Structure 1
Amino acid sequence: MSEVNTLVTLLESAAAGPGSVTFVGGGPIPWQDVLSRARTTAGQLENLGVAPGDRVAVMLPNSAEFLDVFFGAVVAGAIPLPITVDYRGPMLTRVMEVAEPKLVVVGSDAGIPAELAGTPTIAMSELRRLPGAASAGRALPRPDDAAVLMLTSGTTSGRSKVVVYSHRSALQFAAATVRCMPYGPGDVIYTCLPLVHGAALMCDLFGSLMSGASIVVAERFSASRYWDEIVAHRATVASTLGTITQILVQAPVSDKERRHGLRVVRRSGVTAELTREFEDRFAVSTTEMYGLTDVGLITGLPAGVRRLGSCGSLFDEWEAELRDPSGMVVQDGDAGQLFVRPAGAGTLPLGYLDDQPSFGAALVDGWFQTGDVLVRDGDGFYAFVGRVKDVIRRAGENIAPADVEYILIQHPDVAEVAVYAVPSHLGEDEVMAAVVLKRGVLDAPALRAFCADRLPYFSVPRYYRGLPRLPRTVTQKVQVQTLRSWGISPDTVDTGSTSRSATRKAEQ
């Protein structure tokens, strides 16, 4: 067996073992069959003129067909670009302009987005009718060749960008996951996250290939089916994101929710309080890692280490500093923006496709500024506070939106909430809460009173806005930039000053 140093050799290595992938609703597909199907698909892509170094956009849902095209492109020496099937309009147009794919593969001819009109596009049914004979003398990719393109959500770097991962940096992403998660032969990983994003693709899928585990993939998250699917497939490890964790905690009790065989659930972006609720209700341990699509995984809790509210310690591949707005390194216990740089070669992705100035702008003296605010304790463990642009500054205090959201979500009428900054005439910020109600109409004074009883005065939102739903990315991150861009709209309720004196007066 050749050394595992590319995605091709990763798949070949897994194919020699007993693991498999199962898509919910279907049967297990051994990794050997995944490899065989990828080789056939590679031949079909080559018959369409796809050559090494070309980009192939994979616009398919979580499915066996997604794996066929993704790994088929990799085997052919091309570079897959996973794109959510929900992309439309200017976002899809921009991706096509930047990536310039040789080919886009979609699920069917019906409903092909108009934005793909100028790009060669083929449906899976047509692709399957082509001969799949492999090209003679197909060259294997090298570790530092481009391996996969990943779209950022836009929550880190403004507009969505296309990040170029080499085989080496993609494998390091997976290796970091395996060091933190108890993946191994005999394990069954369950994920309902989209394979078009790093959490499912690199942590879950690549992690299963690297560790010898099997994986079960749902097409999408469903609160009503989550525990049923985990129990039915005898999953031992699962992954969630912050919003999914909250939805599961708020969901009606299921007779399956404590009958699972899970050893650990990977969480992300979850407060210590919500983590404790999740672990207590569902009788399962959790762990957490922290990273960015732009650079990869940076921190993680070592296997077996339990620290609520922490996203772990620094991986060996990185050096890190937390800096204040003036650029000075802060002391342990103080919040600062995280700056990282690789401790060795090959850790960083190759940059942004067709946008190297943006990647370069994120570097300060060789350090990548993440735009995230974290705190490190004396033991070297980090905790996520928020985005630099999302942390609210009011009355001389830094306010983490998650702390306010945790209080508001406990109100019996609130189903979802996002807290963010809006401009204050005093030069700092005011606190805005966008809420989705379970029932009734928005009662902003009642929500303010609820917060005032549970939060320091400077954290109490002044403004409240009721929404039918929160704008989200496909990975269920709230699009705070969108909310902020709406400003203080006519339907926003201003409950008046939340200064210390005003709060005391209201209490009298």
Structure 2
Amino acid sequence: MRDDAGRQQEAPAWARAVELFPPCDRVLSTILARQAERYGDRVLLVAGQTRWTYAQTAAIAAASAQTLIEAGIKPGDRVALMCSNRPQFLQVYLGCAWLGAITVPINTALRGLQLAHIFRNSRPALLVAEAGFLAALETVGTEAALPPLVWMIDQVVEAPRIAAVPLPALASMALAGAVRPGDTVAVLYTSGTTGPAKGVCCPQAQLFWWGICSARALGIREGDVLFTTLPLFHTNALNAFYQAVLNGCTYVLEQKFSASGFWAAARAHNASVSYLLGAMASMLLAQPRKEDDTAHRVRVALGGGVPPQNHRPFLERFGVPLVDGYGSTETNFVFAGAIPSDRPGTMGYLAEGFEARIVDEDDSELPDGQAGELVLRAKEPFAFATGYFGMPEKTVEAWRNLWFHSGDRVVRDADGHYRFVDRMKDSIRRRGENVSSWEVEQIILAHPAVAACAIYPLPSELGEDEVAAAILLEQGQSLEPADIVRHCEGQIAYFAIPRYVRIVSEMPLTENGKIKKGALQQAGVTTDTWDREAAGIRVRR
């Protein structure tokens, strides 16, 4: 590479990784072994008191694989993993990837029918679980058989239905399995909105490309310290490990997100890159100001889903630009914004290596400026997921016409910039009109007293839906529900203005910082929910 003056420049770490690992080598065992030779004693993983060098990580992967082999696990077998952000999660995952088995990470918040569905669908040969999640496993009904073999992290606790043994100690090392780039390395379950959760089959090369594309979008450099508080059972934190190993970085894994402790932890680890989703940036901004708000080394942070009005205050207060982007478990980091974002809160521009179209219900391409469903394709082999585990009809539906159908309503501007509008199935139908929850949220979030907002449907006495808003206020701010109505008037259609307003002290959040709209909707009209019609307030048309 050469700069504008014609001087020779070293290629970024991610570009060197693409050259170092040609298509046939884009499997984790090869990546770990080759990077262990290159970086040796450089620290790769920091998790609590645990430190793994690059060389140790490769050895742990090989030893974990041998432990699985001795337990009878074969390539293609599924290994369910119910574990928080601990080294043991990566130990099991790396062993499976080295051997050619498939890890099935389980959201640690799941219970009952949700857990039962995952066990029925994935049919794991082994379950590895923390002792603290034993009660959750006990909620699985008898109609869903637990795996015949259960390894328990920490002490083994007796339970009527679960015959567990301790997680075996590591011993000898196995040779890497005959794993190919298209082989499934993990089945990641996405939350079901219209049915049971679907297990996304993620091939080895997809995680390689997650590491490359994320590093490109975030401007990651060799030697960076990547700091994440997001859960390993989701794509973001898992692919951040690949970002680290592919780019010669250190991966710092925190147990969970803490708004009050985030910056102190970042300082303690000398973090240079971090990852924020959804309401996490809002929660950090809501913390009391401190003199050391900028006393850290974080150079950039992922800001997917962060409200647009929070980007500039976040940069001004903490000195950290937030990077817009878009990707799903089935795809990759396919859209990315500038650093800092030139249009905060949007998707950014299509990244190199991918194709995108905006289409109507018949998959016909729509012109710029018109909203439709986003469909995607990858140019590199196995850069996307290969389907849904055990759900061939869902796979065909999502990948029909050889494009992945995202289920997201998106607009492409004439200059190639993409804007998210709503989930195709997340719009609210009120008295014959479709209401975009995202559009209403953006209007309400523009109010200076509002820190976070969720728009969701509640049943109407007249059929269809009523618009409901849950609102979290900025620290020290006060607001009456009627103020929200007046704020919306003239900015959105009258039929989109919320009838129900609920001021909450905290939002229900998923483990990766997204608001649980389903929980708000299920709660219905609570005692603290204000009803515009009951208050006799009419909106101006």
Q: TM tier, shorter chain?
A: 0.7 to 0.9
Taking a change above 3 Å as real, the CA distance of residues 277 and 428 of structure 1, as seen in their structure-2 partners, is farther
Match of 2:200 among 163, 176, 179: 163
Q: Distance in 1 between matches of 2:212 and 2:21?
A: 17
Write the deviation string for residues 208-253 of structure 1: whole angstroms up to 9, x where unpaired.
1111111211110000110101111111111100111111122211
Match of 2:100 among 73, 77, 80: 77
Q: Distance in 2 between matches of 1:328 and 1:2?
A: 37
Match of 1:154 among 189, 192, 198: 192
Write the deviation string for residues 28-85 of structure 1: whole angstroms up to 9, x where unpaired.
3212111112222222222211111111112111121111111012112211111233
Q: Which residue of 1 aligns with 2:124?
A: 101
8 Å Cα contact 1:77-1:141 kept in structure 2 = yes
8 Å Cα contact 1:336-1:373 kept in structure 2 = yes
Aligned length: 501
Q: Which residue of 2 aligns with 1:271?
A: 307
Match runs of 1:100-499 below 5 Å: 100-108=123-131, 111=134, 113-114=137-138, 115=140, 118-119=146-147, 120-125=149-154, 127=166, 129-130=168-169, 132-135=171-174, 139-155=177-193, 158-202=195-239, 204-301=240-337, 306-325=342-361, 327-392=363-428, 399-406=435-442, 408=444, 416-422=452-458, 430-435=466-471, 444-452=481-489, 457-465=494-502, 470-484=507-521, 492-496=529-533
Which stretch of the first structure deviates more once superposed, 218-227 or 373-382?
Answer: 373-382
1:54 matched to 2:83: no
8 Å Cα contact 1:144-1:168 kept in structure 2 = yes
Q: Which residue of 1 aligns with 2:4?
A: none
8 Å Cα contact 1:462-1:498 kept in structure 2 = no
Q: Distance in 2 between matches of 1:2 and 1:377?
A: 35
Gaps spanning 5+ residues in structure 1: where? none
Q: Distance in 1 between matches of 2:331 and 2:392?
A: 14
Q: Distance in 2 between matches of 1:324 and 1:453?
A: 29
Write the deviation string for residues 151-202 of structure 1: whole angstroms up to 9, x where unpaired.
11335x6431111111122212222112212212221111111111111111
- 2:183 partner letter: D
For the residue of structure 2 that corresponds to 1:296, the secondary structure is coil
Q: Which residue of 1 aligns with 2:110?
A: 87
Gaps spanning 5+ residues in structure 2: where? 1-19, 155-164
Q: Which residue of 2 aligns with 1:5?
A: 26
Taking a change above 3 Å as real, the CA distance of residues 2 and 263 of structure 1, as seen in their structure-2 partners, is closer
Q: Distance in 2 between matches of 1:2 and 1:390?
A: 40
User: What is the deviation of 1:280?
Assistant: 2.1
Taking a change above 3 Å as real, the CA distance of residues 159 and 486 of structure 1, as seen in their structure-2 partners, is farther
Which stretch of the first structure deviates more once superposed, 143-152 or 454-463?
Answer: 454-463
User: What is the deviation of 1:312?
Assistant: 2.0
Write the deviation string for residues 368-394 of structure 1: whole angstroms up to 9, x where unpaired.
221111222222121222212223466
For the residue of structure 2 that corresponds to 1:338, the secondary structure is strand
8 Å Cα contact 1:231-1:256 kept in structure 2 = no
8 Å Cα contact 1:53-1:78 kept in structure 2 = yes
Taking a change above 3 Å as real, the CA distance of residues 47 and 200 of structure 1, as seen in their structure-2 partners, is same
For the residue of structure 1 that corresponds to 2:279, the secondary structure is helix
Q: Which residue of 2 aligns with 1:28?
A: 51
What is the TM-score normalised by the length of structure 1?
Answer: 0.87
Q: Distance in 2 between matches of 1:307 and 1:406?
A: 14
User: What is the deviation of 1:477?
Assistant: 2.1
Q: Distance in 1 between matches of 2:285 and 2:378?
A: 37
- 2:171 partner letter: G
Q: Which residue of 1 aligns with 2:10?
A: none
What is the TM-score normalised by the length of structure 2?
Answer: 0.82
Taking a change above 3 Å as real, the CA distance of residues 256 and 106 of structure 1, as seen in their structure-2 partners, is farther
Q: Distance in 2 between matches of 1:503 and 1:110?
A: 49
- 2:196 partner letter: R
Q: Structure 1 vs Structure 2: percent identity of aligned residues? A: 31
